[in-house]
């Protein structure tokens, strides 16, 4: 028997974990057995049995916007008879977000692979030498890797939740996939707020050096020297790195904000707000992953000497001359060029068999 409008069934509200599990089970049923559900609704032992309420609910579903009712139960969505946007959200997730998101990620990986095969690794023409420039402090490297590790963990767990049912479930089986999906959801919700903390640390530490300057547009128009053989002068950060910084800060803020709405349903948000937050969270995260893939490629296998600054704190002088010429010229003019022994002393390494206690400069 259906409860009368405006009455309560007495069932306590679902927890966040239970609601997400119910949503996943519902999506699986709707995707894999639509015909069976339709037959079960209209047939009984081979005899057509029309549902007397079918016309009523069909009329309700076809109305534009949410249809409110009256109820004694107090809550954000307690007076909403039916939410027609829920079906639109489900269709968007299953028919547009998942396939097109997969195309974007796969296309980016394919593009990077083709670029590597055609262009190859960008070498330092003068070769890597033994003279270095101090580039990043220990604190700067720490917050960079903290942000990177947090984002990669969240990206991996988020991709499992988004694509796992179609990609992992068929060969992992329901038991193992259920364990993996549950762990991914809990880990994603737990570490998600840490990404917001990481964004604040990165913003306040690096914003001053990521203000656009004269010459940045020229760097962009010439492809940053990646296309072709010429070198384009730039400052401490080039146009590409500055754009990466602002994408991280601005798009990352949307990711964090929408994620907090989804994880903490305590701000008075209803189901429609949660659906919009889910869409914005998923779209911006996929965009960020695509950008980060390019960043990882350039900083690792794509460019010789690019990773040294974030692993040791020092970069090769020849690399700096070819990729950050204006900054390198200022450092040379100020006498900041270091040889291998001086770098070892600053890092507290052993020089000529003697232990040096001098620690890396934090300037």
114: domain CATH number?
A: 1.20.950.20
Domain count, the chain: 1
pLDDT number for residue 342: 87
Which residue pairs from 81-86 have beta carbons closer than 8 angstroms and sit at least 24 positions apart in sequence?
81/5, 82/57, 83/271, 83/272, 85/271, 85/272, 85/275, 86/271, 86/275
pTM: 0.74
Assess if residue 29 is contained within a domain: no
Distance CA 259, CA 269 (A): 13
pLDDT tens digits, residue range 330-356?
999 999 899 888 888 887 754 444 443
Distance CA 86, CA 91 (A): 9
pLDDT tens digits, residue range 97-148?
999 999 999 999 999 999 999 888 888 888 888 899 999 999 999 999 999 9
Show the domain range for 303: 91-350
Assess if residue 363 is contained within a domain: no
pLDDT tens digits, residue range 33-58?
444 444 444 444 444 556 666 776 66
How many angstroms separate the Cα of 129 from the Cα of each of 230, 320, 351?
20, 11, 18
> What residues contact residue 179 under an 8 Å CB cut-off, 6+ apart?
none
Dmax of the chain from CA atoms? 93
Assess if residue 204 is contained within a domain: yes
Q: Is 350 helix (H, G, I), strand (E, B) or coil?
A: strand
pLDDT tens digits, residue range 259-300?
999 998 777 778 888 889 999 999 999 999 999 999 999 988
């Amino acid at each position: 028997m259906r409860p009368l409008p405006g009455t309560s069934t007495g069932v306590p509200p679902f927890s966040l974990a239970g609601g997400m599990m119910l949503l996943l089970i519902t999506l699986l049923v709707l995707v894999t057995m639509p015909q069976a559900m339709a037959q079960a609704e209209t047939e009984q032992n081979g005899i057509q049995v029309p549902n007397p309420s079918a016309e009523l609910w069909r009329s309700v579903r076809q109305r534009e916007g949410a249809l409110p009712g009256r109820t004694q139960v107090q809550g954000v969505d307690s007076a909403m008879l039916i939410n027609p946007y829920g079906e639109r959200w489900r269709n968007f997730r299953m028919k547009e977000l998942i396939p097109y998101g997969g195309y974007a990620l796969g296309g980016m990986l394919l593009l990077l692979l083709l670029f590597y095969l055609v262009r190859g690794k960008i070498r330092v023409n003068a070769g890597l030498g033994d003279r270095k420039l101090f580039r990043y402090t220990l604190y700067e490297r720490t917050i960079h890797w903290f942000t990177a590790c947090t984002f990669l963990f969240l990206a991996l767990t988020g991709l499992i939740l988004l694509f796992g049912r179609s990609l992992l479930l068929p060969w992992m089986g329901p038991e193992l996939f259920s364990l993996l999906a549950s762990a991914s959801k809990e880990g994603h919700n737990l570490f998600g707020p840490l990404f917001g903390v990481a964004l604040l640390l990165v913003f306040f530490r690096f914003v001053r050096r990521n203000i656009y300057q004269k010459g940045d547009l020229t760097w962009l128009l010439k492809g940053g020297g990646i296309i072709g053989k010429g070198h384009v002068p730039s400052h401490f950060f080039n146009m590409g790195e500055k754009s990466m910084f602002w994408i991280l800060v601005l798009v990352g803020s949307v990711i964090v904000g929408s994620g907090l709405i989804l994880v903490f349903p305590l701000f008075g948000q209803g189901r429609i707000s949660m659906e919009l937050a889910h869409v914005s969270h998923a779209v911006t995260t996929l965009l960020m992953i695509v950008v980060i893939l390019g960043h990882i490629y350039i900083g690792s296998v794509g460019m010789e000497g690019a990773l040294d600054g974030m692993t040791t704190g020092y970069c090769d002088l020849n690399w700096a001359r070819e990729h950050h010429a204006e900054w390198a010229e200022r450092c040379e003019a100020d006498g900041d060029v270091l040889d291998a022994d001086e770098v070892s002393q600053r890092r507290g390494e052993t020089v000529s068999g003697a232990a040096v206690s001098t620690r890396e400069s934090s300037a």
